[in-house]
Structure 1
Amino acid sequence: MRSTFCALGLLLLGVSAAHADDGHFSVGAGANYSTGKYGTDTTTDIWSVPVTAGWQDDRWTLKLTVPYIGISGSNDVIPGTGGVNNGNPRGRGHGRGTGGGGSTSTTGSASGLGDVVASAGYQLFTSADYSAGLDLTGKVKFGTADADKGLGTGKNDYGLALDGYKAWGDWTVFGGMGWMKYGSSDYIRLQNGFNANLGAGFKLSQADDVGAYYYYREKIAEGGAAQSELTAYWNHKIGADWRLQSYVMGGMADGSPDWGVGATAKYLF
């Protein structure tokens, strides 16, 4: 749903990586849905089905995500980016949008391949008892989504994030900051921006943990707005190989969806 680094990923991957002496591969698939106006006068619905592949050992976490995306709504809303001034004359609805906050934005529906995302994370620090850690992650979002359909900007984005966690018994506090270099096209102008997250998780049992985190991203687009979101999640382990994740989120700014839900299943081998 977002082209940013997620604190939930840190909790699921960064903490477990501290205990992973031997490397392992993983594959996964999920489903996400969100809806909101993003500062326009039209409600935009976005759903995605991401397929992931990853490698993880005691220090490194490598991940590749290939999503299939569907969107219905304003031509000035781009999945993973939010509200923009989209001047593409071949955009959804076959017209020129007037920008986030405009009253006559072109609307339409489209679906297809989304932006492929590759990331590499390295654990900079881990305490002797694995109760604290610090990760550095780099990410490239390739502009593979069709810009004429409004599924993406058509340009690459590059990001870097620093995330940490500290556990006290069954509680874990986590957070981080990131920076993204966004690519601009002839029709969509973006500026680079920072993002941050802060949250806490609680271990209910050996198989289950729950938590919540806050996410913020500064305004990156003409016609757009900052993002401010609160997400609650539940993670469940099935044996040694399966991981299930689900979440519900609520937006608190014009740049965010009003709400969203999602679930993912991952297999380790």
Structure 2
Amino acid sequence: MPSFFQGSFGTNSTLNIFYNDTYFQYQNSTLRLKLEVPYLSVSGLPNGASLSGGSVVSRKGVSTQTHSASGIGDVWLAAHYTVLQSSGLMPAIVPFAKIKFGTASASQGLGTGRNDYEIGMGLDETIGARIFPFAHIAYRFVGNPPGNNLQNIWTYNIGSSYLVDEHNVLTGMFDGAQSEQPGYSGPADLVVAWNYNVTRAGSGFQLYFDKGLSNGSPDFGIGIGGQVVF
């Protein structure tokens, strides 16, 4: 899923971030395991700032000078487990846990160099045969490098998917989080996505647009990618 984001992210510079997320996933009726291995390239990153997940999370000692950097990002491992299936007005209850491994270069500002740990809860509903609302909330324990004063945060999203036909799925979502660095705005984004499924198993393509709604978000983002399901 190669993506491009542009914005200031709460700095005095315009950042251009190319974020290419490759993931491997296993799923059955109750369990979903996902491993994400991203590659990112950024220009206009202020010296002293650090990225995480394609967004600026630390601005320690930020200067007016900027630099460009590229390399592997932070690897994420997530596990979702459905403890209660959706039935009638009762949504599916899906607790989850995530680990962010600090694999991105801290010296280049591509990451903090520390692990993050996240636990959360998801609610997934089905209305009729075409509408699929969802909501997720999680608490992230943030790895804090010396002198950065980063704080633990809440993350959340809410939205719905709509099955247009057997091939086309539209999704709208509000996605947000607290700021890891006190005194700055957390990210808040409106995301619209279109999925085209080539096979019944779910192999296909996705196109999405991201509109930042806060000073901690990109001005805009766009991504296009695909998946193969075995």
**TM-score relative to the length of structure 2:** 0.91
Deviations 1:140-163 (A, max 9, x none): 000000001111000000001211
Question: Which amino acid in the other structure matches residue 38 of structure 2?
Answer: P
C-alpha contact (below 8 Å) 2:209/2:220 kept by paired residues: yes
Structure having the higher helix fraction is 1
8 Å contact from structure 2 (residues 86, 126) kept in 1: no
**Could you tell me whether the CA contact under 8 Å between 2:57 and 2:180 is conserved in 1?**
no
User: Structure 1 residues 132-141 or 235-244, which shifts more?
Assistant: 235-244
Cα offset for 1:77? Answer: 4.8
**Structure 1 counterpart of 2:102:** 143
Counterpart AA for 2:190: L
- Equivalent position of 1:172 in the other structure: 132
Name the counterpart of 1:220: 180
Task: Figure out how many residues of one structure are paired with residues of the other and give that number.
Answer: 225
Give the one of 242, 246, 249 matched to 2:207: 246
Letter in 2 for 1:205: D
d(CA) in 1 for partners of 2:89 and 2:222? 31
Residue number in structure 2 paired with 1:31: 2
Alpha-carbon contact 1:211-1:232 (below 8 Å) kept:
yes
What displacement does 1:85 show? 2.2
**Shift in Å, 1:133:** 1.2
Quick one: distance in 1 between partners of 2:52 and 2:114? 13
- Residue 171 of structure 2 is matched in structure 1 by 211
Q: Is the 8 A contact 1:36 1:44 kept in 2?
A: yes
Residues 1:128 and 1:85: Cα distance change in structure 2 (over 3 Å): closer
Letter in 2 for 1:78: L
Map of 1:179-198 to 2, 5 A cutoff? Answer: 179-198=139-158
1:209-241: CA deviation from partner (whole Å, max 9, x where unpaired): 102111121122145321111000111111235
Structure 1 spans left out of the alignment, 5+ residues? 1-29, 88-96, 99-103
Gaps of 5+ in 2: none
Cα separation, 2, equivalents of 1:249 and 1:139: 23
SS of alignment partner, residue 64 of structure 1: strand
Structure 1 vs Structure 2 CA RMSD: 1.9
TM-score by length of 1: 0.78
User: How many percent of aligned residue pairs carry the same amino acid?
Assistant: 29
Q: Post-superposition shift, 1:186?
A: 2.2
Per-residue CA distance 1:176-218 (angstroms, 9 max, x = gap) = 2111011011253310010111112211001111021111211
User: Do the aligned partners of 2:210 and 2:221 also contact (CA within 8 Å) in 1?
Assistant: yes
Paired residue secondary structure (2:84): strand
- Are the counterparts in 2 of residues 84 and 222 from structure 1 also a CA contact under 8 Å? no
The match for 1:17 is none
Tell me which residue corresponds to 1:113. 72
CA distance in 2, matches of 1:146, 1:196: 27
Higher relative contact order (CA 8 A, sep 6+): 1
2:31 maps to what in 1?
A: 60
| SS at 1:214 equivalent | strand
